Homo-oligomer: A and B are copies of this chain.
Amino acid sequence: MFLARVIGTVWGTRKDEHLKGFKLQFIQPIDRRRNDVGDPVVAVDTVGAGPGETVMYITAREAVIPLPVDEAPVDASIVGIVDRIDISE
């Protein structure tokens, strides 16, 4: 999983029918110091993350697992909200 910060929401009415009903968050990947890295990703959110929260997200085929359907054209999902990171070095 990678870390990201929720920075917005993406809206579109013409989309694949499997995507209907899912909230699409716009998330900015971040590094361990919470600096931005790379470009934002559009991710399905089933944990109810809010703007500015640090989240863990997954990519690829696993991204459909949190969804209550058998398959969906989804390749990024938010799977948790990060409360704390303990760095041991």
Residue ranges of A at the interface with B (Cβ–Cβ < 8 Å): 1-3, 5-16, 18-19, 24, 26, 28-29, 31-32, 37, 39-43, 46-48, 51-52, 56, 58-66, 71-77, 79-89
Contact = CB atoms under 8 A, between A and B. Distances in A.
A80 B41 contact: no
A66 B26 contact: no
Contact of A24 (B1, B18, B48, B88): B1
Given A16-B47, A32-B39, A62 B82 contact: no
Contacts of A86: 8-11, 26
B52 A15 contact: no
B1 A66 contact: no
